[in-house]
A = this chain, B = another copy of it.
Amino acid sequence: MSGLGRRADRPGTRDPKAHICSLLHISFGTKSPLQRDVLVACVVGAWVENLLIILVVEDEQLLQSIVEESLTDGGFETVIASSGENAVELLDASEGKFRALVTDINLGSGKIDGWNVAQHAREIDANFPIVYMSGKDADDWASKGVPNSIMLAKPFAPAQLVTAVSQLLNASPPAAPTA
């Protein structure tokens, strides 16, 4: 089920471009530069202004799809970045379109890990909801995590992820209304 309270809930009014976005987003990390530009445009474009998008940063394809399925079941839209570098690029281009960040810690061969991505997101927006997912690095949350974030130690259940994102969004001060 999709987000409540936006025009897209009305049957027939969903912008067809949204589907393009949906089709693209799983494989963001492996796209050509051209495709990535399309995706970034898709994410930040005016026509997605009213979507409830969670940025998911995960380099393992299996986990990408499980996380995405869990969040979609809860009614969230997801955009998936497969490296810290992709995530930072999306955050910089997003102009506040993302509502929360769900990030793995160890992100493969890149230099930017999940701790860095979360710090970057908080430099842009001091109240940005952050959920970390980790196995072996979960213990480092107390020293490397940001305040008011949640660490999900693997293994965790889909309900924990959806509850974590919902708790943080529900605790955030309501943003100024979009005109």
Number of copies: 6
Instruction: With A135-B5, A146-B145, A154-B4 as known contacts, state yes or no: A164 contacts B160, CB within 8 Å.
Output: no
Q: Which 4 A-B pairs have the closest CB atoms?
A: A5-B154, A74-B159, A75-B157, A138-B174
| Majority DSSP secondary structure for residues of A touching B | mixed
- What would 5 A/B residue contacts be, using CB atoms closer than 8 Å? A3-B155, A3-B156, A70-B75, A135-B177, A137-B177
Q: List chain B residues, Cβ under 8 A from A3.
A: 155-158
A6 to B79, CA, bound (A): 23
Contact with B along A1-33 (1 / 0, CB 8 A): 111111001100000000000000000000000
Contact of A109 with B by CB under 8 A? no
Given A4-B67, A143-B122, A147-B148 in contact, is the A160-B153 Cβ separation under 8 Å?
no
Contact A76 B159 (CB under 8 A): yes
Given A1-B70, A152-B170, A156-B169, 10 other A-B contacts at CB below 8 A?
A5-B133, A52-B156, A119-B143, A122-B143, A137-B177, A139-B176, A147-B147, A147-B148, A160-B169, A160-B170
B9→A74 contact, CB < 8 A:
no
Contacting residue for A166 out of B10, B138, B159, CB 8 A: B159
How many residues of A are counted as interface, with CB atoms below 8 angstroms from the partner's CB atoms? 69
Contact status A4-B135, CB under 8 Å: no
Q: CB-CB < 8 A to A75: which residues of B?
A: 70, 157-160
Residue among A4, A149, A165 with max Cβ neighbours from chain B (10 Å): A4
